[in-house]
Amino acid sequence: MPDSTAAVNYSSYLALGEILGAQRPRSAEHDEMLFIVIHQVYELWFKQLIHETRHAQEKLELGSGPQAMHTMRRMRTILKTVVGQLDVLETLTPVQYAGFRDRLDTASGFQSAQFRELEAVFGRREPSVLDHYEPGSAECERIAAAMSRRSLFDSFLAYLAAAGWEVPSAALGRDVHAPVAPNEEVQSLLITIYLDDGEAAQVCERMLDLDEGVQEWRYRHVKMVERTIGDKRGTGGSSGAAYLRSTLFAPVFPDLWAVRSRL
């Protein structure tokens, strides 16, 4: 156990011994270190995004619009950083990646439990993703729990109701185990909110920022995979770029996009 009486310094506060000792390449290839570091950094950002999303939901459900917007602006900035890191990963040429790819064995980004949890918090409800994790494992339980709670959009609707807007009761009381489906009544409400041009309209825009950020990540991720391995199958048995392409242009908050054509 660590000595709780020792003075905290930069290294101990950040647990640098653990963090900097967590890179363990499985080959002698120079470029494998970069691959490991980038993906570990991704996981740290995913952890922070989950942390921030829960905070945003709490503030939304309390009716604290300005605080929720501040948190969502931070989340959008993190998403831009995550997308920007792909520029670093794309410095790996196909030949350099091939030099250590076989050492990954069955490991695949498709198995990122934190990203699956983040998707669930944003509203994805696809129980089949749990098939990729050991039943009863911590990863499986966390994703399942996230799919059983209110999504970020549900919290957004709760914020609107708390602010006095007449949110359709069916939308407020929907089964959170199901994905958020487009709702014309909600869209009509959103049009009224945009025309009012108050705080709620700004919250709508911050929500849309997040949706756009997730879609940017998906697009850049696809292009990075295509650039590195083309249409080869991914490690871990995934279909690689083919699967990633199937996730493109699927909005997280469809109602916020649908009203653009009606304003």
Is 80 exceeded by the pLDDT of residue 145?
Answer: yes
pLDDT class for 223, splitting at 50, 70, 90? confident
Q: Are 199 and 67 in contact (CB under 8 A)?
A: no
For residue 52, the model assigns a pLDDT of 98
| Average pLDDT for 234-241 | 54
Q: Are 94 and 229 in contact (CB under 8 A)?
A: yes
CA distance 77 to 75: 5
For residue 229, the model assigns a pLDDT of 77
Listed in sequence order, the residues at least 6 apart from 228 whose beta carbon sits closer than 8 Å to its beta carbon are 90, 92, 94, 97
**pTM attached to this predicted model:** 0.90
Is 60 exceeded by the pLDDT of residue 235?
Answer: no
Annotated domain spans of the chain: 31-98+153-261
For residue 109, the model assigns a pLDDT of 61
For residue 64, the model assigns a pLDDT of 97
Is 80 exceeded by the pLDDT of residue 157?
Answer: yes
| Average pLDDT for 4-24 | 92
Is 80 exceeded by the pLDDT of residue 211?
Answer: yes
CA distance 232 to 229: 6
Is 90 exceeded by the pLDDT of residue 206?
Answer: yes
Is 80 exceeded by the pLDDT of residue 176?
Answer: yes
pLDDT class for 110, splitting at 50, 70, 90? low
The hierarchical CATH code for the domain 31-98+153-261 is 1.20.58.480
Q: Which stretch of 133-142, 197-206, 218-227 has the lowest confidence by average pLDDT? A: 218-227
For residue 3, the model assigns a pLDDT of 64
How is residue 232 annotated by DSSP?
Answer: P
CA distance 263 to 189: 12
CA distance 38 to 59: 31
215's tokens: 């879609």
185-206 burial, b at 16+ Cβ within 10 Å, e below that, comes to ebbebbeebbeeeeebeebbeb
CA distance 34 to 138: 28
For residue 247, the model assigns a pLDDT of 66
Average pLDDT, rounded, for the chain: 91
pLDDT class for 234, splitting at 50, 70, 90? low
pLDDT class for 250, splitting at 50, 70, 90? confident
3-state secondary structure 100-159: HHHHHCCCCHHHCHHHHHHHHHHCCCCHHHHHHCCCCCHHHHHHHHHCCCCCHHHHHHHH
Q: Are 54 and 68 in contact (CB under 8 A)?
A: no
Alpha helix positions (H), the chain: 10-13, 16-20, 32-61, 65-89, 94-101, 113-122, 138-146, 152-162, 169-172, 184-196, 199-229, 241-246, 254-258
pLDDT class for 171, splitting at 50, 70, 90? very high
